[in-house]
Structure 1
Amino acid sequence: MKIADITTKVIGDKRRWWAYKARTKKLPENYRTAVDALERYLMFFGATDGDGAASMFEDLADLFERAAADRTPIREIVGEDPVDFVDAFLQNYNKGGWVTRERERLTSGIQRAEAMDEGEQS
């Protein structure tokens, strides 16, 4: 697989990526710093297909552009725990990703174990 193919898989269409980067570059410094931190996390745990990743980053830019226009404090956007915020944000995009599959596998395993417990108690 070529590096361009990997890049496209991770960030999607390069034009969309560069448009997103141009948008976030225009944000006030504090919002840009927050977006950069979220972007880094999302690169590791975000959507696994290019189109999903591009949509995810575009929505992140939308959110922070609106917040900056309204002068919404960063903590009002992400809350007290930024990991909780970004994990909730990711739930809209992470379909098919390895994290989602492993979470589903864990939930299914616990449900099977619970069913076995209930079968033994009958």
Structure 2
Amino acid sequence: MGIQDIIEGKKQWRAHVARVKALPPDYQIVYKEIQRYIFKVGPVDLLDGPLLSGIVDFFEEGVAADRGVLELIGDDVAAFCDDLIKDSRTYADVYQESITGESGKAGK
């Protein structure tokens, strides 16, 4: 990764954060909880994928439709996040594989 990649990544992240800050306060709070949860248990390829920007897109559509954030995701933020990443390889999977000695194998 070169310096240009780092600079471009920072520009993209700042633009992403600006989109989040443009959301209504209740959406921002829920987004931050989702982000915290996903950063803790989320997919290994989080930075390479469109997950976070997709959530902001989803929230922007909800705002445009004049819907409350809990109408969109439900009352359980963790369950919403788990559903988003259910088919992704997570850091918990990597850890489990390191303990069992398996690599990339799905459950038996």
**Normalised by the size of structure 2, how large is the TM-score?**
0.71
In 2, Cα distance between equivalents of 1:91 and 1:16: 26
* Cα offset, 1:98, TM superposition: 2.6
Secondary structure, counterpart of 1:107 in structure 2: coil
* Cα offset, 1:81, TM superposition: 2.0
* Cα offset, 1:75, TM superposition: 1.8
Kept after mapping to 2: 8 A contact 1:31/1:64: yes
Aligned to 2:24: 28
* Cα offset, 1:105, TM superposition: 6.2
Aligned to 2:91: 98
Gaps of 5+ in 2: 98-103
| 1:77 and 2:72 matched | yes
Kept after mapping to 1: 8 A contact 2:16/2:53: yes
Identity %: 25
Gaps of 5+ in 1: 109-122
In 2, Cα distance between equivalents of 1:18 and 1:90: 24
RMSD: 2.7
Aligned to 1:38: 34
User: Could you list the runs of 4 or more consecutive aligned residues of structure 1 that deviate by over 4 angstroms after TM superposition?
Assistant: 100-106
| 1:57 and 2:52 matched | yes
Kept after mapping to 2: 8 A contact 1:13/1:51: no
Query: For each residue in 1:93-116, what CA deviation from the matched residue of structure 2 results, as whole angstroms up to 9, or x when unmatched?
Result: x33x333454986832xxxxxxxx
In 2, Cα distance between equivalents of 1:90 and 1:15: 25
Structure showing greater radius of gyration is 1
Query: For each residue in 1:40-93, what CA deviation from the matched residue of structure 2 results, as whole angstroms up to 9, or x when unmatched?
Result: 1111122323212xx11110110111111112122211113221111111236x
Higher helix share: 1
